Chains A and B, each alone.
Chain A
Amino acid sequence: EAGVTQFPSHSVIEKGQTVTLRCDPISGHDNLYWYRRVMGKEIKFLLHFVKESKQDESGMPNNRFLAERTGGTYSTLKVQPAELEDSGVYFCASSRRRQETQYFGPGTRLLVL
């Protein structure tokens, strides 16, 4: 079974530009989560999809962040326009059911200059 995959692995952009991160969850996993780790600190929850519906987006920092999961398969997280403080590692995780273990992808390392 393939694990959670994320693309790109790294992204370096300038302040004000747009970046789109992609996450492909484990096949059959209805629950998809986005997390972020900034400056080596704790990993923080951003939002949770159940299939294509946003279940909880309480962790999204502001309206520059837009997450979608069309068709309930892969998800994208767009940052527009990017700011310096958006730099960090963005992780995606998925689980089959809400109460089950979340499996994480390798992350996308975003650097905003």
Chain B
Amino acid sequence: DQQVKQNSPSLSVQEGRISILNCDYTNSMFDYFLWYKKYPAEGPTFLISISSIKDKNEDGRFTVFLNKSAKHLSLHIVPSQPGDSAVYFCAASPPSGSARQLTFGSGTQLTVLP
């Protein structure tokens, strides 16, 4: 049973507009969440993270929002650029006292149209 779910396998957005990628999780023990970006034939690249003690973290064009009560997080990309086209994985991690194995969602393919 998947503990991290990305229900949208694909998303297309016009260049300059906002991209919103969503992720839901079921395990309430997760306390650290990450987004990775993956280009074809490459490994996942870390993008941004958020601790469960926060509800928002921002880094340039990328903002991650966490709603713990809904067990939901989202990644906002503003403005979207063609180079952002990639597969985006949401990942979650248990508390820092245990092994930091990541549990991933199945990914969302983002296509930014010029």
Contacts and interface: CB of A to CB of B under 8 A. Distances in A.
A103 interface: yes
Interface stretch (A14-22, A40-48, A63-71, A76-84): A40-48
Interface stretch (B38-46, B56-64, B67-75): B38-46
A55 B104 CA distance: 19
Contact of B100 (A41, A58, A95, A106): A95
The interface size bin for chain A is 20 to 34
B89 A43 contact: yes
A48 B99 contact: yes
B61 to A, nearest CB: 19
A43 B44 contact: yes
A103 B41 CA distance: 15
B41 A106 contact: yes
Residue of A44, A45, A58, A103 with highest tally of chain B CB at under 10 A: A45
A44 B106 CA distance: 10
Residue of B41, B44, B89, B107 with highest tally of chain A CB at under 10 A: B44
Contacts of A56: 99, 101
Interface in B17-43: 34, 36, 41-43
Contacts of A31: 100
A107 B43 CA distance: 6
Given A42-B104, A104-B45, 17 more contacts: A40-B106, A41-B106, A42-B89, A42-B105, A43-B89, A43-B91, A45-B101, A45-B102, A48-B100, A55-B99, A91-B43, A93-B43, A95-B100, A98-B96, A98-B99, A101-B49, A106-B43
Interface of B: 2, 4, 34, 36, 41-46, 49, 89, 91, 96, 99-107
6 contacts: A40-B106, A43-B91, A48-B100, A93-B43, A101-B34, A102-B100
Interface of A: 4, 6, 31, 33, 35, 40-45, 48, 55-56, 58-59, 91, 93, 95, 98-99, 101-107
